[in-house]
Amino acid sequence: MKHTHQNDGSQEYLPSIDCVLIGVNCASTLKRCIDSILACDYPKEKLRIIYVDGGSSDTSKAIATAYQNVTLIALDLLHPTPGLQRNAGWKNGTAPFVQFLDSDTIIDPAWLRAATTAIQDPAIGAINGYRRELHPERTIYNWIGDIEWNGPPGQSDCFGGDVLIRRTALEESGGYDETLVGGEDPELSRRIIRNGWQIRRLYALMTSHDLAMTTIRQYLKRGFRSGYGFAAVRLREAKAGSSFWKPENRKILIKGGGFLIGATAAPLIALTQHNVRGTILSLASLLGGTALLLNPRIFKVEKFMRDNKLRREEAKIYAWHCSLVVLPQLLGIIRFHAGRLLGKPLTNKRAVLKTGLSTTRT
C-alpha cells in the first residue's frame, strides 16, 4: 500500500475533500448540516459538498439546490440504504479524501484540519473523532446515545457514519455494502482493515448530533435495528475468519435468549408439575433467566461509574438500559436470520424515514 502524497512539513497539508451527506426527509436538519461545513476552518475552494437524497417527499432536495456550491444526487429509491447513498456520493467525486456525514449532524469547525493533519500518516485509511449529542438532557434516550457513541482514542477496529476516508481505501474495498439496513459502517471498516489499512480515532470533536429520540417505540426500534446489524455483520465477519462482534452477539443470545427461555419455561413447568418440585423448578427457571438478563444492573454499576464517569444514580439508569436493550436486539438477530432463510431481508421504507429535532431551537 502506497500513498503518493509526501508532505515535507514546510507547509500545512490541506488536501481537497469531498463532503458526502446522506438523508431522506431531512428538511429539519439538512440546512444546519450544510451550513456547518461551509463554516469549517478549511479553505472553501478545497471542499466540495455532495448531498445524496434517498427519495425524500419533503423539501430536502429544494434546500440542497438552494446552495450554488452543493451538488444534489437525487435517488428515486423504494428501499433506500445508507450504503447505496454513500456509494453514489463518493463515486461522484474525485478528491483524495471523503468526509461522510449524516444529515442530522453538525461538523465541528476544527475537525477537517485535525483529520487531514493526522491522516498524513500513509498507514491510515480512515479517521474519525468524537460525536456528541446536542441535547442529552432532553430525553433519557438521547442521554444514552451520548454515552455510547464513542470509544477510546487511538487505533480502532471500526468507525461509524461520520468518518474521513482515504479515496484509495474506498476504491480498494469497493465501498459500502448496499444491501445492509444497519451495520454498514463497521462492515466497511473491517474490509478496509483487511486490506492493510489502519483506522484511527482522534481525541477531538468531529460532529454534534441530535438523536431526537423521544418515545419508547423509537428506543425499541433502534435496539431492534442494532441487533439486526450485529447479526448481519457478524455473519460476514465469521465467513472472513474474524471474531469481530462475536462477543456482542453471544451476549445478546445468552442474556436475551436465556431470559426468554426461562420466562417461557417457568409457566410451562408450573402447569405440568403440580407439586413442590414443579414450583421450585418453575421459580428457578424464572429467576435464572432474570438473573442473566439483569447481570449489568446487578453487577456492573461500579464499572459504569468508572468507565463512563457517571454518578451512581446515572450508572444505575444506564445499567437498566444495558440489561433490557438485549431483548429488542435479540428480536433483531432473529429477524435477520429468519429473513436470510426465507429470502426476505429487512428493508427501509422511504415513506417512514425522517430526521427530526429534539427541540425547535437550533
Position 4 scores a pLDDT of: 42
Q: What is the 3-state secondary structure (H, E, C) of 126-145?
A: EEEEEEEECCCCCCHHHHHH
Whole-number pLDDT of residue 158? 97
In this structure, the answer to whether residues 199 and 285 fall within a common structural domain is: no
Task: Name the percent of the chain lying above pLDDT 90.
Answer: 84
Q: Are residues 79 and 151 in the same domain?
A: yes
| Beta strand extents in 97-242 (DSSP E only) | 97-102, 105-107, 124-133, 154-156, 163-166, 198-209
pLDDT over 70 at 157, yes or no: yes
pLDDT tops 80 at residue 350? no
Cα torsion through 333, 339, 344, 349, rounded to 10: -10
Point out the domain boundary residue: 191, 214, 237: 214
Structural domain includes residue 186: yes
- Residue 171's pLDDT band (boundaries 50, 70, 90)? very high
The verdict on residue 49 lying in a domain is: yes
Grid cell, residue 208, equals 454534534
Q: Is residue 293 part of a domain?
A: yes
- The answer to the question of residue 200 being in a domain is yes
Q: Is 208 found in the same domain as 253?
A: no
What residue numbers bound the domain in which 259 lies? 246-343
Do 200 and 258 belong together in one domain? Answer: no
What pLDDT is stored for residue 35 in this prediction?
98
Taking Cα atoms as reference points, which of 246, 256, 239, 274 lies closest to residue 332? 256
* pLDDT class of 38 with cuts at 50, 70, 90: very high
For residue 169, the domain's CATH number is 3.90.550.10
Question: Which of 214, 233, 268 represents a domain boundary (last residue)?
Answer: 214
pLDDT number for residue 362: 40
Q: Is residue 61 part of a domain?
A: yes
Q: What is the pLDDT of residue 10?
A: 55
Say whether both 66 and 114 belong to one domain: yes
**Are residues 256 and 206 both part of a single domain?**
no
Q: Are 111 and 174 in contact (CB under 8 A)?
A: no
Question: Whole-model pTM?
Answer: 0.91
Confidence of residue 351 (pLDDT cuts 50, 70, 90): low
Domain membership flag for residue 233: no
Tell me, yes or no, whether 275 and 318 share the same domain.
yes
Burial class (CB in 10 A: 0-12, 13-18, 19+), 260: middle
Q: What φ, ψ does residue 156 adopt, rounded to 5°? A: -125, 160
The answer on 84 and 178 residing in a single domain is: yes
Within a domain: 339: yes
Mean pLDDT of 130-156: 95
Cα 352 to Cα 96: distance, rounded to the nearest angstrom: 35
Q: What is the rounded average pLDDT of the residues 307-312?
A: 95
Q: What is the mean predicted confidence (pLDDT) over 334-358?
A: 87
Residue 89, CA distances (Å) to 21, 106, 133, 173, 215 in order: 8, 18, 25, 16, 32
**Residue 313 and residue 184 share a domain:** no
Q: Of 164, 197, 214, which closes a domain?
A: 214
- 331 and 203, same structural domain? no
Band (pLDDT 50/70/90 cuts) for residue 159 is very high
The mean of the pLDDT values for the chain is: 93
Local confidence band at 356 (pLDDT 50, 70, 90 cut-offs): confident
Q: What is the pLDDT of residues 66-82, one digit of tens each?
A: 999 999 999 998 899 99
Q: Is 227 within 8 Å of 332 (Cβ atoms)?
A: yes
Q: How many domains are contained in the chain? A: 2
Q: What is the pLDDT of residues 177-231, one digit of tens each?
A: 999 999 999 999 999 999 999 999 999 999 999 999 999 999 999 999 999 999 9
Residues 198 and 278 in one domain: no
Question: Given this model, what pLDDT does residue 301 score?
Answer: 95
Question: Could you read off the pLDDT of 136-145 as tens digits, one per residue?
Answer: 999 999 999 9
Q: What is the pLDDT of residues 246-291, one digit of tens each?
A: 999 999 999 999 999 999 998 898 888 888 888 888 899 999 999 9
Do 130 and 28 reside in the same domain of the chain? yes
Is residue 50, in this structure, part of any structural domain at all?
yes
Give the C-alpha distances (Å, rounded to integers) separating 173 from 52, 97, 156, 184, 188: 21, 15, 18, 13, 8
